[in-house]
A = this chain, B = another copy of it.
Amino acid sequence: MKITIKDVAKKAGVSTATVSLVITNNSRISQDTRKKVLKAIKDLDYTPSRSARGLVSKKTGNLGFILTDDHFLRTEPFYTRIFLGTEFAAHVHDFYILLTTLPNTFSIDDPLPRFVREKNVDGIIIAGKVPTTLIQKLEKYKIPLVFIDYVPPMGEFPIVLMDNISGGETATKHLIDLGHKNIAFLGGDVQHPSIADRLVGYKRMLEKHNITVSSKLISTGSPEPIKEEGYKAMKSLLSKNNNISAVFACNDAMALGAMQYLKDIGIDVPGKISIVGFDDIESNIFLNPPLTTIRVPKIDLGVEAVKLLSERITNKNIARKKVLVPVELIIRESTRKIS
């Protein structure tokens, strides 16, 4: 027989309502009674029934987590770490997470995730870029949404982002502090908000130190911020400038490509050229030299999203709309003081 609130009430010598009030942290209960009840709960190893709770409170106690198939299956465990963060925080806020993936071909007449249709979540976390059609369909359900690492093109939703501008500043400052002046920016498509922001940080920090921002040192032509493009971009940058002493790559993948090119043409890193990346991807550790980079705390992104969503669910009139998670400079061996 399962232990119920009645058993606890009897053991503590109070009514079931009192037990319930203790569980939900209601202030109407005196410290003495609270203690008694808490002890009874512990002694009996009681856990409230989610079903019974959900039935009367009209809450499910679940949060949905949506991302696209290819984000989930990526070899770089970026979104899996974010998920782990939400799992962790869900624990604290007493939620369960229901993870589901979406084909990236999601179209307007595809069915929504099951937990939406069956109303089995109190709120939804959306990680990474998802099809706009999904957001449109989701809006009608009036379920609180929170986005991670993606700014939806429409609507007014709470968002959790990493602090790309400050990351760009930190990376650039690190190079400046090492004595570099001719610092190149190796970027991808500036349409992507993250990349644009990292570039903003780069420019800002240069200006702050009275270093002229030269368009000849900035590469933003690459369609995708991947290794191969980093290789090409490094090549083209070097063909236009022969005095580059440092490179801030908009992400680690491009930094890897750049390092590969430099290795191929016999330029030593960090001997001749220092390189800073962004993201701190897993495979960096095996790199030679290990890459100095800006670490993005993926776990924290997830944690903050759950916090934000939890606030929304319990307390509708909340002001927080946007959370910027700070990033961190990780100094390894790809950067060096200029001689």
Contact bitstring A2-18, B, C-beta under 8 A = 1, else 0: 10000000000000000
Complex CA–CA separation, A117 to B43 (angstroms): 15
Query: Chain A: interface residue count, which band?
Result: 35 or more
- The segment from A28-36, A70-78, A154-162, A181-189 found at the interface with B is A70-78
A99 touches which one: B54, B91, B99 (CB < 8 A)? Answer: B99
Complex CA–CA separation, A50 to B136 (angstroms): 26
Complex CA–CA separation, A77 to B73 (angstroms): 6
Listed residue (A69, A73, A99) with the most chain B CB atoms within 10 angstroms of its CB: A99
Chain B residues within 8 Å of A76, by CB: 75
Chain B residues within 8 Å of A330, by CB: none
Least CB distance from A272 to B in Å reads: 28
Report if A133 contacts B (CB, 8 A).
no
Complex CA–CA separation, A111 to B33 (angstroms): 28
Contact bitstring A96-109, B, C-beta under 8 A = 1, else 0: 11111100000000
Chain B residues within 8 Å of A98, by CB: 96-98
Q: A75-B75, A81-B73, A96-B115 are in contact. Are A52 and B50 (CB under 8 A)?
A: no
Q: How many copies does the complex hold?
A: 2
Q: Is the CB of A97 within 8 A of B99?
A: yes
Report if A260 contacts B (CB, 8 A).
no
Q: Is the CB of B75 within 8 A of A80?
A: no
Report if A60 contacts B (CB, 8 A).
yes
Least CB distance from A283 to B in Å reads: 7
Q: Is the CB of A55 within 8 A of B51?
A: yes
Report if A241 contacts B (CB, 8 A).
no
Least CB distance from A295 to B in Å reads: 16
Report if A132 contacts B (CB, 8 A).
no
Chain B residue at smallest Cβ distance from A101 = B84
Chain B residues within 8 Å of A77, by CB: 72-75
Q: Is the CB of B75 within 8 A of A91?
A: no
A80 touches which one: B80, B91, B97 (CB < 8 A)? Answer: B80
Report if A119 contacts B (CB, 8 A).
yes
Report if A114 contacts B (CB, 8 A).
yes
Report if A236 contacts B (CB, 8 A).
no
Least CB distance from A42 to B in Å reads: 13
Least CB distance from A92 to B in Å reads: 11
Q: Is the CB of A80 within 8 A of B84?
A: no
Chain B residues within 8 Å of A2, by CB: 58, 119
Listed residue (A51, A60, A73) with the most chain B CB atoms within 10 angstroms of its CB: A51
